[in-house]
Amino acid sequence: MVIPRYGLNRLSNRSFVCGGNHMWGLEELKIQREIVDRLDWEMTPEKAVETYLEWGTGWTRKDDFVRYPGQEALYFVIYDWEKPAQVTLIRRTMKEAEEIAKIHVPAEMVRRAVDAAGRKPGVGVCAITEEIKEWLKEALGC
C-alpha cells in the first residue's frame, strides 16, 4: 500500500485502517520528516476553507489565497466525535482534502479544545489549541 504523494510503501504495526484507508500513526508520521517539517501550525479548518475553496473568502484579503496549482497545506484538526480522542492530519489542496494520519492525544486536551471552540460536543470539526500544538511538537520531535 502506498499513501499518495508521500510514498509510504510498508505499513508498520503502528498504522491502522480508517474507513478502508491506511493511516499513519504517531510513530510513522514522526519519521516522515518531509511532512513534519511542512506542517502549518497556524492553519485552522475555517482558514483552510477560506484559502483553498473557491467559495471561501480568502481572495478578499491580500495574501490569503492559493497562489499556484498544487499548493497544499498540512494541518491538524479535531473531529470531536471520534473515540478515542485524537487529531487528524489533513492534506488540503484546491481539489481535495485527504486524511493522512491520526494521532491519539490525551482526552482532556481534546475536551478543552472542544470547549474552547464553543461548540456542542460530538458535532464539529475544531482547530487544535496551543496546548495540543505543543504536545504534538514534542511528540513529533519538532
pLDDT one digit per residue (tens) for the chain, 142 residues: 334 444 433 333 344 444 456 789 999 999 999 999 999 999 998 888 887 776 545 555 556 666 667 778 899 999 988 988 899 999 988 788 899 999 999 999 999 998 888 877 677 899 999 999 999 999 999 9
Model confidence, pTM? 0.78
Nearest to 88 by CA among 104, 73, 72: 104
Nearest to 25 by CA among 38, 10, 11: 11
